[in-house]
Amino acid sequence: MQQLTDITKPANKLKENYMKNHHSNNINLTWTLLGTIFLFIFAKFSEPGLGISSTTYGALARDILENAHWFNPTVGHKMNDPLVDHPYLVLWIDAIFFKLFGVSAQTIRLTSSLLGMLGFVALFRGVKNILGENAAYLSCVLLMTINVYMNYHSSGWLDIPMVSFCLFAFYFVSKEGFSPQNGALSGLMISCAVLSKGAGALAVFPIFLFSILQSKNKVRDFIIISTCALLPFLAFTIAHYNSQRFLFWTVYFQRQFGALNDTDAQLASTKHYFWYVLESLRNGHLVAILSLPGLWWLTKAGHKKIAALIGGVLVVHISAYSMSSRHYGQYLLPLFPWMAVAAAFFLTSLLKHKLKIAIIAKYLLILAMVFFVTTEILPIQVHSASGTAFKSLQKILYFNPQLQVAYFAGDVDDQSTWEAESSYIRWYLNKWPVALKEQELRDKIASLTENEVILAPKGFAQTPPCAHSSKIDVYLKNCMDLKVNVLSFSDQNQYLP
């Protein structure tokens, strides 16, 4: 017996050393991936440029922070009244970042940037549990090559947080026979995805079915995951009803699938049922193409559960968005992580032992360092800005606390006439936007108070403005409040957030 023990000791020692080194390699790859993603996402992070939707979400988060409008955020007077385009979870997180780090273009990007980085890690660790380390890391590498997916990590949009919560939910149930605690966390992440972008979180359905397939105690885990997914959803619904006295989801679905879709139908540049598939292929390029044989390869190799998950994600999104008249690029984002997984498995199956993941990870990190340093040193613009005509007026209006209300030309009954302007006024100038019809705006010029300013289109009235940018005339009750009679500002000036 002693001899048998002596014989097995070396084998046990070798196994112990292998597991220790293997665990260390996993940790190193995770941190290498995190560092690589950080360098790509945070390159030129100090730039103040933001797109229109980022300024809108930033203005809404600012309203939550400054006016405690947790369940009725708005960008201005009678605008987004009520705001039911999306639930408010991401806006609440944005408001918390504003409280901690101040209101700026950098802080409105933090939610997408940080959750997006963690989403990559969740994808890597989850896929590693099922398909192995090579396929997991290559999935992340392929996902990084999809430009449109990476771009949204440096924005204030809701889509990357929603996708990341879905990836978190997947990670927690990626191990077959997962624990009840992980099932509960997966359910919580499913709820967070829905509370980030409502009906846009279509991936939660195939992820939920995947979790049941992975379970060894299906009844128990079904109850746990369902309960943890429903409780935050119900808490939000009840709290919103107590605050606003109407059921959020009733109005939400009426807007999403009724009036909003009808309005956007007039704006759709192309009307065909294959737009979503074609745009996925165009933006996903080789990754999207390789994902098709990758799905077949997964099934052939016996990975039917994750193949069903990926196929389910593709089916629900293509079915839903092919029927939509809204053809927006952000609708493609939920597909790309799963396409990358299928494509990565296809490539690793073909190349087998030829892939040196540690070497790839090392050189990709070096490339990310070079990219980060280059963009910081050279005059390269990474974040483009919209609303520059408003932004150029920051120097004279942002730090003028006496001015509180900004009037502009718009009709509160027509969102297309005020959405951009009100967001820019609230975000760049920190004034309370009020939309007036053109004649009302002309009449208002003669009755301005010391607390009001008018931002009108260039040449809107015969009265000389107090200041102007290339597209906007500024009217005050007393032009001397600006300490000069006429100011002209270039749209290229960049101030503040």
Domain contains 365: no
Q: In the structure, what pLDDT confidence band is assigned to residue 26 with cuts at 50, 70 and 90?
A: low
Work out the number of other CB atoms within 10 angstroms of the CB of residue 255.
15
**In the predicted structure, residue 132 carries a pLDDT above the cut 90:** yes
Does this model's pTM top 0.75? My answer is: yes
- Residue ending a domain, among 308, 339, 355, is 355
Domain contains 70: no
Task: Based on the fold, state whether residues 322 and 420 are members of the same structural domain.
Answer: no
Which H or E run includes 174? none
**In the predicted structure, residue 191 carries a pLDDT above the cut 60:** yes
Task: Based on the fold, state whether residues 276 and 417 are members of the same structural domain.
Answer: no
| 29 vs 260, residue with greater confidence | 29
Domain contains 26: no
Task: Based on the fold, state whether residues 123 and 255 are members of the same structural domain.
Answer: yes
Mean of pLDDT values over 164-178: 96
What pLDDT sits at residue 14?
45
- Contact between 42 and 372 (Cβ < 8 Å): yes
Domain contains 473: yes
Q: In the structure, what pLDDT confidence band is assigned to residue 15 with cuts at 50, 70 and 90?
A: very low
What pLDDT sits at residue 392?
84
Strand order across the beta sheet in which 472-475 lies: 432-436, 405-409, 452-457, 472-475, 467-468, 487-488
Taking alpha carbons only, the member of 99, 71, 109 closest to residue 87 is 71
Q: pLDDT tens for residues 75-120?
A: 998 887 778 999 999 999 999 999 999 999 999 999 999 999 999 9
Q: In the structure, what pLDDT confidence band is assigned to residue 25 with cuts at 50, 70 and 90?
A: low
Mapping DSSP to helix (H, G, I), strand (E, B) and coil, where does residue 411 land? Answer: coil
- Contact between 131 and 170 (Cβ < 8 Å): no
Q: In the structure, what pLDDT confidence band is assigned to residue 3 with cuts at 50, 70 and 90?
A: low
What pLDDT sits at residue 269?
46
Residue type, 7: I
Domain contains 381: no
- Contact between 37 and 118 (Cβ < 8 Å): no
What pLDDT sits at residue 322?
84
Q: Kindly tell me the burial class for residue 399, based on how many C-beta atoms sit within 10 Å of its own C-beta (0-12, 13-18, 19 or more).
A: exposed
> Residue 215: phi, psi to the nearest 5?
-80, 145
Task: Based on the fold, state whether residues 172 and 288 are members of the same structural domain.
Answer: yes
Averaged pLDDT score across all residues of the chain: 87
Task: Based on the fold, state whether residues 343 and 426 are members of the same structural domain.
Answer: no
Domain contains 393: yes
| 203 vs 494, residue with greater confidence | 203
Task: Based on the fold, state whether residues 251 and 299 are members of the same structural domain.
Answer: yes
| 470 vs 439, residue with greater confidence | 439
Domain contains 198: yes
**In the predicted structure, residue 145 carries a pLDDT above the cut 50:** yes
**In the predicted structure, residue 13 carries a pLDDT above the cut 70:** no
Helix ranges (H only) for 132-203 are 133-144, 147-151, 159-172, 180-197
Which segment of 227-236, 254-263, 269-278, 416-425 scores lowest on mean pLDDT?
254-263
Task: Based on the fold, state whether residues 465 and 403 are members of the same structural domain.
Answer: yes
- Residue ending a domain, among 310, 331, 355, is 355
| 451 vs 265, residue with greater confidence | 451
Pairing of strands 467-468, 472-475: antiparallel
**In the predicted structure, residue 295 carries a pLDDT above the cut 90:** yes
Task: Based on the fold, state whether residues 102 and 247 are members of the same structural domain.
Answer: yes
What pLDDT sits at residue 479?
82
Which segment of 75-79, 124-128, 254-258, 264-268 scores lowest on mean pLDDT?
264-268
What pLDDT sits at residue 50?
84
> Which structural domain range is residue 111 located in?
84-355
- Contact between 261 and 324 (Cβ < 8 Å): yes
**In the predicted structure, residue 265 carries a pLDDT above the cut 60:** no
What pLDDT sits at residue 463?
84
Mean of pLDDT values over 33-56: 90
DSSP 8-state class, residue 462: S
- Residue ending a domain, among 355, 372, 398, is 355
What pLDDT sits at residue 4?
47
Task: Based on the fold, state whether residues 338 and 401 are members of the same structural domain.
Answer: no
Task: Based on the fold, state whether residues 209 and 147 are members of the same structural domain.
Answer: yes
Task: Based on the fold, state whether residues 238 and 97 are members of the same structural domain.
Answer: yes
**In the predicted structure, residue 41 carries a pLDDT above the cut 80:** yes
Q: pLDDT tens for residues 362-412?
A: 999 999 999 999 998 888 777 777 888 888 888 888 888 889 999 999 998
Task: Based on the fold, state whether residues 92 and 144 are members of the same structural domain.
Answer: yes
State how many domains the chain has.
2
Domain contains 89: yes
Q: In the structure, what pLDDT confidence band is assigned to residue 261 with cuts at 50, 70 and 90?
A: low
